[in-house]
Amino acid sequence: MTTTPATSPLLEFSGLPRFDAITPAHVEPAVRSLLEALRATVQRLQDDPAPATWDSFVEPIENDGERLGRAWGIAAHMHSVMDTPEWREAYNAMLPEVTRFYAELGQNLKLFEKYKSIRNSPEFATLSPARQRIIDNELRGFRLSGAELPDDQKPRFQEIQEEMAGLGAKFSENLLDATNAFSHVVTDEAELAGLPADVIAAAREAAEKTGIAGWKFSLKMPSYLPVMQYADSRALRATLYRAYATRAAEIDNGFSKPEWDNGPLIAQLLALRAEEARMLGYRHYADVSLVPKMAESTEQVLGFLRELAVKAKPFAERDLEELKAFAKTELQLDPLEPWDVAYVSEKLRVARYAFSEQEVKEYLPEPKVLAGLFKVVEKLYQVRIAPDTGPVWHPDVRFFRIERDGALIGQFYLDLYARDTKKGGAWMDSAITRRRVGDAVETPVAYLVCNFPGPVGGKPATFSHDDVITLFHETGHGLHHLLTRVDDLAVSGIHGVEWDAVELPSQFMENFCWEWDVVREMTAHAETGAPLPRELFDKMLAAKNFQSGMQTVRQLEFSLFDLLLHMDFDPASQRVMDLLAEVRKEVAVLVPPEWHRFPNSFSHIFAGGYAAGYYSYKWAEVLSADAFAAFEESGRPKGSVLDAETGERFWNEILAVGGSRPALDSFKAFRGREPQVDALLRHSGMVGA
């Protein structure tokens, strides 16, 4: 039954999204009606002969645009967290139309001229800095959307945007389908040797649910990672490794379908991006990608990555030699195969630091972890986090509110566990963005989404320390969105923040996971309730930079590959895998097998907005490490890095201002100087080769 727009819960904008009532059937009629409304507003404004002003021109477009953005955002969110056939169909049915509309909007010369007229009018000088930045961002956006292209080229430019949006969605779906298609059933209990009890229990539960005897393993992280890290069975590790490495590829791995092969999609996306760049007058797509970022040029980014690689590679080579020697002498694994790396690394960590990640995991039950996380936020920013009520899309989802002095600041959904219908990874997204409407302020609402193992056998979920770091990371993004004080939508929260600075607040939060006064507050042994012993934490700390050289060059490998792929690479005459091999020769120390198809699952750059921008993680890590050093400098003498005074400055200068000023200005306002790489090298243990 098709719902009429007038009664659609997707068209209720006065409160929280109606996840209790919204269905896939609501998407098409609601989104169509919002597109029509915004089209009518645009038509009226572009034909209005009166001079454009902020109130008469920008605000009406922003208001109608926000309604469309909110409704379409819910559809996109459901496509990510409840990817049933019905939601997939509803999202994909409207994706081309929504993409086409935004492409048309970005090329509307009449609107472009109106924004330019505001920029050149006396009113511009009277606007707040935030509104001036919005106007400048809009003008830049029009230029990047092809507004200045000749009319005969605009239809092709629009086609490119639609094709790229469709290919990105298909890339993500292929990867999810290929991941879900694989399962491996173990019937011989001896093959489970080395695996943690909770992982074995979850595998048993998964088998029982599908009516089979034995233990069922999948390629989802809560199942895949423990096998690679703990399973004594080399054959079991090799089976899962090969399956994971060949997802959504052309290789016949026994479970993937040819139509899930992401290889052709990669070639098409790269060709379309290169064509878009040429049409806009840029050398290549990497140049286009960098226009709205902090970095000044691709040459600057390449220099940054290669300089870091030169510093990190000796540490990475030392890490690998240690790993190979340990594998050979202690485990009789020679040569060291790729499916041995995580396993041997865990054994070496245990041997060297006398603890295992599984041992730590027993001390990190979900209720304590959440309480500890919330305490960090509350102490740093003098706020209160409390459970709240609101409709949710799945029974596992929880909802919270953040208050200060009794006043509501924002709210957030927490969706922690892996599901078959949920895309992999972890992310934060905005449900509602803070803005002023008349005399009232709409408070922000965020989605925090992870893919952790859920409760097993009626006991609370327990998280690895890496899971905790991921949760803190996404919470950092959430706080950037929720603690904004900017009232103008387009630069409120994370909106308008340069892409290579967006990771600053998230990576900044990760640092607290290595502070004793934080960690001890979030631990209680799953069986005994005892807190994490200080001795065990000291071992974790000693092991913190274990293999940091190898981890760093791995990130640099991804970053360089991404950037070079979007520079002078031609998918018609060059192979993606050949470029990756060249990059690995330059920076990598671990080279996977020839049949490994990493690019086919590199969602960040082919389906996640990081194209020619993956370097942002390392770029922002410099900023975040340097920012955290301010808390070390002010807090250590007081006995805790949870320093409210520095927290207030971080809120005021970084989180509160959102995208209302350049990120570098915000950083310098907080730190009093330009960013320096020293803190990152120190935190990573890469000082003094």
- Enzyme catalytic residues: 474
Token pair for residue 56?
Answer: 């008469």
> In 492-610, which residue ranges form alpha helices assigned H by DSSP?
504-510, 516-519, 534-542, 548-565, 576-587, 603-607
Token pair for residue 107?
Answer: 């090329």
Token pair for residue 667?
Answer: 């950083």
Closest CA to 241 of 595, 557, 577, 555: 595
User: Dihedral through CA 465, CA 466, CA 470, CA 472, nearest 10?
Assistant: 30
Token pair for residue 223?
Answer: 């199942």
- Angle, vertex CA 347, rays to CA 345 and CA 349, nearest 5: 65
Report the alpha-carbon distance of residue 244 to residue 607 in Å, rounded: 18
Report the alpha-carbon distance of residue 106 to residue 77 in Å, rounded: 24
- Angle, vertex CA 124, rays to CA 120 and CA 130, nearest 5: 130
> In 107-220, which residue ranges form alpha helices assigned H by DSSP?
109-119, 123-126, 129-144, 154-181, 197-209
Q: Is there a contact between 301 and 294 (Cβ–Cβ < 8 Å)? A: no
Cis-peptide into 453, omega within 30 deg = no
Q: Is there a contact between 77 and 22 (Cβ–Cβ < 8 Å)? A: no
Closest CA to 313 of 670, 583, 104: 583
Report the alpha-carbon distance of residue 100 to residue 650 in Å, rounded: 39
> In a 10 Å sphere around its CB, with 0-12 CB exposed, 13-18 middle and 19+ buried, how is residue 190 labelled?
exposed
Closest CA to 571 of 271, 262, 282, 283: 271
Report the alpha-carbon distance of residue 250 to residue 257 in Å, rounded: 9
CB atoms within 10 A of CB 387: 8
Report the alpha-carbon distance of residue 258 to residue 250 in Å, rounded: 6
* Amino acid sitting at position 313: K
Listing DSSP states for 414-459 in one string gives: EEEE--TTS-SS-EEEEEE--EEETTEEEPPEEEEEEEE---BTTB
Where are the extended beta strands (E) located within 206-302? 215-217
